[in-house]
Amino acid sequence: MSGGDVPAVRIEGLGKVFDGRIRALADINLTVREKEFLVVLGLSGSGKSTLLRCINRLVDATEGHVWIFGEEITAATGARLRELRRQVAMIFQQFNVVRRHSALINVLSGTLGRASLLPSLFLKFSQDDRERAVAALERVGLGGREHHRADTLSGGQQQRVAIARALLQEPKLILADEPVASLDPALRHSVMRHIEALNREEGLTVICSLHDVDLVRRYATRVVALRDGRLVWQGAPDELNRYTYREIYGTEAEPATNTVM
Amino acid sequence: MDDRAAALILAFAWNLFSSWIGASPGRALVRGVPRWEQDLDWNRTLRGWFTVLFIELTFFSGWLITEVDLPSFFTKFSKASDIVRGLVHPSGVVLHQGLVLLVQTVFLAFMATAFAIPLAFVLSFAAARNLTRSSRFSRVMYTAVRTGMNFTRAVEPLVWALIFISWVGIGPFAGVLALWVHSIAALTKLYSESVESIDPGPMEAITATGAGTFQVLRYGVVPQIIPPYLSFTIYRWDINVRMSTIIGFVGGGGIGYILKPRVDLGEWGQVGTLVLLIAVTVWLMDLVSAKIRERIV
Ligand SMILES: Nc1ncnc2c1ncn2[C@@H]1O[C@H](COP(=O)(O)OP(=O)(O)O)[C@@H](O)[C@H]1O
Ligand SMILES: [Mg+2]
């Protein structure tokens, strides 16, 4: 990081305890530079989702601070909080598209942070936004599907609708929480490719949790690993090997046999 | 046979029956039975004996309080056979008036339901636990709405009808208002339960775009609750038709309004006609509402 650059995300002393007793995160310190493709690794239950959700405040941390492009989101409320959220798009493992809405309306809902309130409550959007939504669907390979209801689309198509929704949000940061874990392995690259394009072509910062080591090597520019809510490892994707793997997943874990490490 | 003797014999028979099927009232009803007692038969513990005694006393006093009169039940059927004869030989005299009031009955139920929908829709968000966790204000609102609705629901529509009759006068509008109030409470409860069972995923996704509260509700919640809301609303209309057939008994309009005097006068043929009309309507509503709801869900 060259001096004076504002990091995309800065996290200090972040901790989260659910219901006063379940500790999900402890003392996380992490800085993510602009245009990084940061992958978060960890077993399920290690705190990946909680970490990502603390960044856009879908979950409120119990300790610590988070800054987004220099502004503290953990201190923001009301309109200020929504303003900061607008800069951060999220992609979910379960897609979370609105099933009974068309693909087009789903994509347009990405603009809700800046759309005018009353028309948006009647599903009305500006012509300009509608054209951009059509283009975004085209871009993720769903041209011509604008008026298909989301629940008639396959999982991979729904996730691409969610990516187009993120595009319309015009964010500076993308949080992707296991974006391909619910998809057929054969389809994973078709979704990851689009997230990669946002990173490479649009210059967006990406923070993405993943399971599959092959995907990590292919897409990450940097890797951090969580274990029991703590950051236990950071490094470059090509530093992942049998030994670091044990460090991340514990001594009982073995890399999948077909994975060359 | 003396009533009291009959009650005692029945209670004793029940007692024998329950111990025979192995249901031990002492253990089932009393919490915190000490370990050493749990393996014993009920009739081997003092607690077991007292519990059985208590149940028998309740049954016995209930028999006296409700003036159970088995001899009348078994020997005086002939008096009621007039009604049965009336049902089998309905009179055509009230057919026309009955049909007109039947239409009024169905519309009374419809208007009560229609007026209740918008209010229940708005209140259901305030009465859903999953939407009211975030702020102190919303938690207070939740408790207030829930308490108010539980109270409103606890008062029977017939009682509401009496209140509204003294307010707007005898007639179908009083019935509409009575069923309206009761329906708001009932629909709010049903609606809010379907809000509570939505998938939170889309709500989170919309929140993450920087959308405001109303947009999150419109995009993340409303699309998910429309099918159950439609289904509950039709179900409520169905129930309201049933209720509006008797709301006329106290002056709330509908077919019950002419049924009551005919019962009092013993016009059993006319009563028979009206009862048959009600039965057919309720049966049809039931059928139609079940069919529609089947298609929605
Ligand atoms: N809403 C919640 N309420 C209570 N506990 C939660 C909640 N969300 C997550 N947790 C707990 O926090 C820990 C971390 O969960 P999560 O962040 O979902 O991990 P991951 O995404 O790595 O699987 C787990 O022990 C999980 O059970
Ligand atoms: Mg997770």
Domain boundaries, chain B: 3-72, 93-296
Indicate the pTM of the whole model: 0.82
The answer to which of B3-7, B131-135, B155-159, B194-198 has the lowest mean pLDDT is B3-7
Residue B206 sits at the chain A interface (C-beta within 8 Å) = yes
Distance B295 CA to ligand 1 centre (A): 38
pLDDT for the residue numbered A260: 45
Provide the residue type at B132 as one letter.
T
Q: Which residues of A touch B209 (CB under 8 A)?
A: 85-86, 89, 109-113, 165, 169
pLDDT for the residue numbered B83: 77
Q: What is the mean pLDDT of residues B248-268?
A: 89
CB neighbour list of residue A128: distance below 8 Å, 6 or more residues apart: none
CATH class of this structure's domain B93-296 = mainly alpha
pLDDT greater than 70 at residue A234: yes
Highest mean pLDDT among A103-107, B4-8, B13-17, B262-266: A103-107
Q: What is the mean pLDDT of residues B88-108?
A: 90
Distance B25 CA to ligand 2 centre (A): 48
pLDDT greater than 90 at residue B174: yes
pLDDT greater than 80 at residue B28: no
Contacts made by residues A114-123, CB under 8 angstroms, sequence distance 24+: A114/A86, A114/B210, A115/B215, A117/B212, A117/B214, A117/B215, A120/B215, A120/B218, A121/B214, A121/B215, A121/B218
Average pLDDT, chain A: 92
pLDDT for the residue numbered B108: 95
Q: Which residues of A touch B207 (CB under 8 A)?
A: 58, 85
CB neighbour list of residue B231: distance below 8 Å, 6 or more residues apart: B293, B296, B297
Distance A190 CA to ligand 2 centre (A): 21
Helical ranges in B155-267 per DSSP H: 157-168, 172-196, 200-208, 213-216, 222-246, 256-265
pLDDT for the residue numbered A212: 82
pLDDT for the residue numbered A256: 55
pLDDT greater than 70 at residue B44: yes
Pick from A88, A89, A96: CB nearest B201: A96
ipTM: 0.93
Higher pLDDT, A234 or A255: A234
Q: In this complex, how many residue pairs, one in chain A and one in chain B, have their CB atoms less than 8 Å apart? A: 77
Residue A93 sits at the chain B interface (C-beta within 8 Å) = no
User: Position of tokens 């989260």?
Assistant: A16
Average pLDDT, chain B: 87
| % of residues, chain B, pLDDT over 90 | 52
In this structure, the residues whose C-beta lies within 6 A of any atom of ligand 1 are A 18-19, 22, 24, 42, 44-50
